[in-house]
Chains A and B, each alone.
Chain A
């Protein structure tokens, strides 16, 4: 029972194997939010959000509703969480209320795993601290495969605040499993050397040109101003060295795509021109989030 439910949980990418990932992506291709299929009719999907979120939350909600499930949103403010209820007690409560699956976003790494280890329903990680954001990695993989024939031989540059990024960790785990060559780029404060130990096939560079040259995918990450404050590197420095501009993008492969998990800050990690360029798939990523998350929920409920 528990093992079955643990298998259906999605806690991270690191411990999934390539076939499981391809299976989810295949399932996602069969999902179409425009043509609802009531695969999860009568099921209750609880969206438990301990952190603010726009796209991930609405995307999971639309995905669940497209499948005929009822959704309940629980946020830390205005709930018992504010009164000091523990994560596990909140989980037991939601289970007792009748949750069939819990989608959780939490500021602490490992929180979804803790919940999955104690509850007999599947848990879907919608982002845990700096650890993983598996649904984002899956929707990004889905997006890449809509533009590239396969992962084989791909070269991906990920630029920005890798250290604080769960998106980066999940992306690295996923792409590395398929032999993608990954270059992480940014200042040492945001891209420590140790990042190259995340998975096989990852290297770190401080030079944007080196990272971008010949890349098939250029993935940009948001840089929070407050994280640059007090560092050796300031905002202007960052923009000067690491901002994605049209000129720099020309170093990438001709058919390279530009990705970003959002929210984007125009004028910081990328120029408006790049964000709106034909190579940008940033809006498409958001759109692809729905079928990817439909697949994740269908798998969680064992309806695949």
Chain B
């Protein structure tokens, strides 16, 4: 199995020469099985030493006092929309990665549904140029079909060659059976995951929220759960038949999770991610046609949300990914049915995970860390990321799992404000984000 090296990320500058000692924290590193009071020394952008308290000798250029804090591998977000090229009024790589850093993410994977679509090696390279201003590692995901039209596959080999970590037509699922089979066949040859936004769009035309009582009452057209699960079912079977790696983006229904479980138990190479909003909110939370509750997949039923929480706890779900989807206010302040899908999510992900999963559902912090780190790193075969073993990349997320704070959308570092969580009281806050040995974000409070 080939592993992608750290070299395939767009590095925010070269690894900083020098050293940073993170002292007195509680290291939680599920990939290495480490969980305890330990100090971490980063040297020249890599993990140099992890040792019991006060055992690391020699002066470091900088020391970070992590007492009372959790020291985790840098968080990886498999699913963000940074809107470049072409829609820089919504977000830029610079602004989106600053928001990512504030949310504790040291690596983000950018979705290709930009304008134009990232379907060529040229655009993948463009995304990774230092001039884009990324402050965290950027791993581009390229389109699976040309212009994401679902007609002809892109050149997977060339895209992988310049650093694309997966292919997807996010937002425009691959419906054609033969094309999907072909994509997964190539995936199996190249070890490149195919990410599917699982939605049978023939069943969801003009629909704007989950089909259910709330939708009916509001007079909106509904997106049936089966529109998702039917595609997941098919894709899981194709993955099993081809040996390709299927990754299901933002899975949202109980039935789709069951389809995925069947795939996993039959040894198909299938993985999935879930968003913080799908484990936090349900369709009934959408009142007054608030477009900040409009996203795709939509907020589902209470039963679906329960199934998601169970699947997060039992290991069915591999990663938490934000599906950060910024939109300008003029695009969101419109009739619900005319509003684009999507909400921002980078800065609220950790707080929601700790508040909803740990405090409300007793999922251990360790498991949450896994879902933000080694889980997503495994999905995309990101070598030396998502763990803090000696020699790994010096990506570290330090957070306070008990700190209560209020998220204010107006203080967001994203260019957009389309979040349903404005004013939410959350527990769990990022204290510092370290990328390749350098502190790129530090909590001011």
**In chain A, residues 106-154, which have Cβ atoms closer than 8 Å to a Cβ of chain B?**
106, 108-111, 113-114, 117-118, 128-132
**Residue numbers in B under 8 Å from A192 (CB-CB):** 216
A86 and B219 contact, Cβ closer than 8 Å, known pairs A109-B289, A110-B336, A129-B337:
no
**Residue numbers in B under 8 Å from A195 (CB-CB):** 216
Question: In this assembly, does A228 line the interface, its C-beta being within 8 Å of a C-beta of chain B?
Answer: no
Question: In this assembly, does B217 line the interface, its C-beta being within 8 Å of a C-beta of chain A?
Answer: yes
**Residue numbers in B under 8 Å from A130 (CB-CB):** 219-221
| Contact status B219-A166, CB under 8 Å | yes
| Contact status A109-B219, CB under 8 Å | yes
The bracket for how many chain A residues form the interface is 20 to 34
- Of B142-150, B255-263, B327-335, the one touching chain A: B327-335
Question: In this assembly, does A88 line the interface, its C-beta being within 8 Å of a C-beta of chain B?
Answer: yes
A110 and B289 contact, Cβ closer than 8 Å, known pairs A194-B213, A197-B216:
yes
Residue of B nearest to A192 (CB): B216
| Contact status B337-A86, CB under 8 Å | no
Interchain CA distance A87-B334 in the complex, whole Å:
7
Question: In this assembly, does B212 line the interface, its C-beta being within 8 Å of a C-beta of chain A?
Answer: yes
| Contact status B219-A106, CB under 8 Å | no
| Contact status A108-B338, CB under 8 Å | yes
Question: In this assembly, does B176 line the interface, its C-beta being within 8 Å of a C-beta of chain A?
Answer: no
Q: Interface residues of B, CB < 8 Å — how many?
A: 17
Residue of B nearest to A50 (CB): B335
A169 and B219 contact, Cβ closer than 8 Å, known pairs A86-B330, A109-B289, A113-B289:
yes
Interchain CA distance A88-B288 in the complex, whole Å:
16
Question: In this assembly, does B60 line the interface, its C-beta being within 8 Å of a C-beta of chain A?
Answer: no
**Residue numbers in A under 8 Å from B337 (CB-CB):** 108-110, 129
Question: In this assembly, does B3 line the interface, its C-beta being within 8 Å of a C-beta of chain A?
Answer: no
Question: In this assembly, does B158 line the interface, its C-beta being within 8 Å of a C-beta of chain A?
Answer: no
User: Distance in Å from the Cβ of B418 to the closest Cβ of chain A?
Assistant: 15
Task: Pick the residue among A114, A128, A166, A194 that contacts B216 (CB under 8 A).
Answer: A194
**Residue numbers in B under 8 Å from A114 (CB-CB):** 289, 333-336
Question: In this assembly, does A14 line the interface, its C-beta being within 8 Å of a C-beta of chain B?
Answer: yes
**Residue numbers in A under 8 Å from B220 (CB-CB):** 109, 129-131
Question: In this assembly, does A198 line the interface, its C-beta being within 8 Å of a C-beta of chain B?
Answer: yes
User: Distance in Å from the Cβ of B360 to the closest Cβ of chain A?
Assistant: 26
Interchain CA distance A166-B289 in the complex, whole Å:
16
| Contact status B288-A113, CB under 8 Å | yes
Task: Pick the residue among B213, B219, B333 that contacts A131 (CB under 8 A).
Answer: B219
Residue of A nearest to B336 (CB): A110
User: Distance in Å from the Cβ of A166 to the closest Cβ of chain B?
Assistant: 6
Q: Mark A62-94, 1 if CB is under 8 A from B, else 0.
A: 000000000000000000000000111000000
Listed in ascending order, the chain A residues whose CB lies under 8 Å from chain B are 14, 86-88, 106, 108-111, 113-114, 117-118, 128-132, 163, 166, 169, 192, 194-195, 197-198
Listed in ascending order, the chain B residues whose CB lies under 8 Å from chain A are 212-213, 216-221, 288-289, 330, 333-338
18 new A-B contacts, CB < 8 A, other than A109-B218, A110-B288, A194-B216, are: A86-B330, A87-B334, A88-B333, A108-B336, A109-B220, A110-B218, A110-B335, A117-B288, A129-B219, A129-B337, A131-B218, A131-B219, A131-B220, A132-B219, A163-B216, A197-B213, A197-B216, A197-B217
Closest 6 CB pairs of A and B: A110-B289, A131-B219, A130-B219, A108-B335, A197-B213, A109-B219
Q: Name 6 A/B residue pairs within 8 A (Cβ), A-sorted.
A: A14-B217, A87-B335, A109-B337, A110-B218, A131-B218, A195-B216
